[in-house]
């Protein structure tokens, strides 16, 4: 009898230990699920596509939302004070990594922490925006993916579609670092190509209609850089331009889908995928300081046939063929 009690006693002890041990393991697993904070500046089709791509890229590298990674997604609705509070929130919840979609988001995150890795989600000019010391050797807790568009090739495409092109207007938001960086590059590119470039800057979407009205009377074609404000109001610009039969050539595919005529575009979704993959590598221990910025150099031919029809433009056969074979055709 004594022996039986003894055995029961040992069994109870053992079960108790197993229970406590199991709970400890659960706890460890809970803590081991890293939080990734994603801060998106505002909603427009390009940034939304990048966000989707990020989730896909994380999954491709083994991080599945709700399973072994927690995503805290915040949309700042283009508001500076939101950017600040949302960045502080990620730091408070001890995020394992933070991703900034668009330059102001990345800047807010980098200001909020010099320790937590910050991954740039499609930032045009990381060095110019003072996010990294050097694109090859970022040096601090910040690295990521750049969406720098192939501007010279895009101007070449405009001239191919409009052989008589002499005067181009560029529209951009003066406070948008991404757009102004491209504006400065475009000035040099147009000079070299002996194209007259007229600049039209806006402060916000309220200006867009009036500035567009003036612009369409003064230029043969409109170029739109990766400008977050214009990207969120493409319809306004396109309606005004189409009414005057002035083609709009945007920097990216999502803006062609929104009514622009054509471009050689970096695929926005794929930028997100690359950002997600880089974030996964950092979660696995890669050091941002020594991880070079990833650039996607080659663009895909992207055309909008409805826009061409509205403008009365016949796209060169080679352009259309290339878009059908390797790019995107929107109807």
Which residues in this chain contact ligand TRP in the complex, by CB under 6 A? 46, 102-103, 122-124, 147, 178, 226-228, 231, 252, 268
147/274 with CB nearer ligand TRP: 147
Contacts of 98 (CB under 8 A, 6+ apart): 36, 37, 38, 39, 87, 90, 109, 112, 113, 116, 117, 118, 119
Of 201, 202, 305, 216, nearest to 260 by C-alpha is 305
Least spacing, CB of residue 178 vs ligand TRP, in Å:
3
Is residue 36 left, alpha or beta, with left meaning phi > 0 and alpha meaning psi from -120 to 50?
A: beta
CA of 327: how far to CAs of 134, 149, 150, 310, in Å?
Answer: 32, 15, 15, 21
Is residue 25 left, alpha or beta, with left meaning phi > 0 and alpha meaning psi from -120 to 50?
A: alpha
> What CA–CA distance (Å, rounded) separates 13 from 91?
42
In the chain, which ranges are continuous DSSP H helix? Answer: 2-32, 45-60, 80-92, 103-112, 151-161, 177-192, 205-215, 228-231, 234-243, 253-257, 268-283, 305-311, 317-326
């Amino acid at each position: 009898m004594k022996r039986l009690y003894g055995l029961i006693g040992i069994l109870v002890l053992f079960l108790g230990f197993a229970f406590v041990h199991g709970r400890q393991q659960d706890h460890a697993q809970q803590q081991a699920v890293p939080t990734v904070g994603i801060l998106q500046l505002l909603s427009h089709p390009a940034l939304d596509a990048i966000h989707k791509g990020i989730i896909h890229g994380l999954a491709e590298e083994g991080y599945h939302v709700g399973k072994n990674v927690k995503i805290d997604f915040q949309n700042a609705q283009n508001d500076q004070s939101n950017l600040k509070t949302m960045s502080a929130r990620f730091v408070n919840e001890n995020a394992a990594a933070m991703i900034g979609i668009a330059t102001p988001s990345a800047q807010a995150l980098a200001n909020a922490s010099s320790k937590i890795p910050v991954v740039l989600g499609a930032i045009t000019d990381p060095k110019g925006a003072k996010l990294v010391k050097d694109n090859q050797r970022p040096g601090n807790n910040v690295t990521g993916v750049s969406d720098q568009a192939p501007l010279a090739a895009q101007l070449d495409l405009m001239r191919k579609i409009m052989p008589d092109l002499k005067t181009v207007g560029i529209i951009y938001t003066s406070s948008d670092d991404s757009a102004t960086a491209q504006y400065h590059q475009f000035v040099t590119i147009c000079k070299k190509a002996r194209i007259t470039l007229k600049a039209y800057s806006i402060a916000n979407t309220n200006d867009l209609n009036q500035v567009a009205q003036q612009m369409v009377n003064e230029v043969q074609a409109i170029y739109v850089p990766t400008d977050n404000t214009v990207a969120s109001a493409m319809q306004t610009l396109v309606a005004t331009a189409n009414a005057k039969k002035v083609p709009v050539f945007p920097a990216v595919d999502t803006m062609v889908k929104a009514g622009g005529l054509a471009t050689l575009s970096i695929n926005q979704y794929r930028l997100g995928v690359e950002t997600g993959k880089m974030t996964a590598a950092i979660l696995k221990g890669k050091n941002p300081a020594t991880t070079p910025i990833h650039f996607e150099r080659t663009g895909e031919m992207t055309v909008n046939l409805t826009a061409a029809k509205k403008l009365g433009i016949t796209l060169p056969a080679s352009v259309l063929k290339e878009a059908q074979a390797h790019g995107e055709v929107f109807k």
